Structure 1
């Protein structure tokens, strides 16, 4: 276990975050971001960034995942993972850190 997560959970978080990144809609910046939330009941909820031509109206992957999770009835979360195409990976923006 690491940070209260089992190795399998960490591997699944990574796999789901990378898969979510592949669904990003970012025709302007080409900067793909995927996020996944792990709920307390073991569900993995994915989200990806969605851009709009009117910057900064786009929505971050973390907020997409959280919005999807909440509308599906989830309220308790265990972890979040974020994937990007850059190395080292980008950290969440200030707004997403406040969620």
Structure 2
């Protein structure tokens, strides 16, 4: 099985947004909400060591959104990525089928989820 390569999409490209929404059965409103939520979540990141803020938002197949931000610890591997926080919230609320994930960072080009988050 080939490795999964996440699609990195800039919300500034209307044609890419439209084709992505069509491909993954997202409405423009759902895409906009995912974008807004992951950017807002980024502001809540706790990253005093790396200063690398990450926000994430996931939408379940039921249309429910869950947000997360990265939370660092002085012991580097013990920190938690924004994506895993958002997925953890969804799972603990009973939503185990996710339709889409959005991630926001302060870097350009945008960062993709780490290997651990891709595995999750």
What corresponds to 2:82 in structure 1?
61
Q: How many residues align structurally?
A: 99
Q: Distance in 1 between matches of 2:29 and 2:118?
A: 25
What corresponds to 2:18 in structure 1?
none
In the alignment, is residue 37 of structure 1 matched against residue 61 of structure 2?
no
Q: Distance in 2 between matches of 1:62 and 1:79?
A: 11
Q: Which structure 1 residue ranges, 5 or more long, are not aligned?
A: none
Superposed CA RMSD in Å reads 0.9
Q: Distance in 2 between matches of 1:88 and 1:29?
A: 18
Q: Distance in 2 between matches of 1:90 and 1:23?
A: 18
Say which one has the larger Rg: 2
Structure having the larger proportion of residues in helix: 2
Q: Which structure 2 residue ranges, 5 or more long, are not aligned?
A: 1-20
Partner-residue secondary structure (3-state), 1:45: strand
What corresponds to 1:2 in structure 2?
22
- TM-score between both structures, scaled by the size of structure 2: 0.79
Shift of 1:2: 2.6
Q: Distance in 2 between matches of 1:9 and 1:46?
A: 14
Q: Distance in 2 between matches of 1:72 and 1:64?
A: 12
Higher relative contact order (CA 8 A, sep 6+): 1
Runs of 4+ in 1 over 3 A off after TM superposition: none
- TM-score between both structures, scaled by the size of structure 1: 0.95
Q: Distance in 1 between matches of 2:69 and 2:22?
A: 25
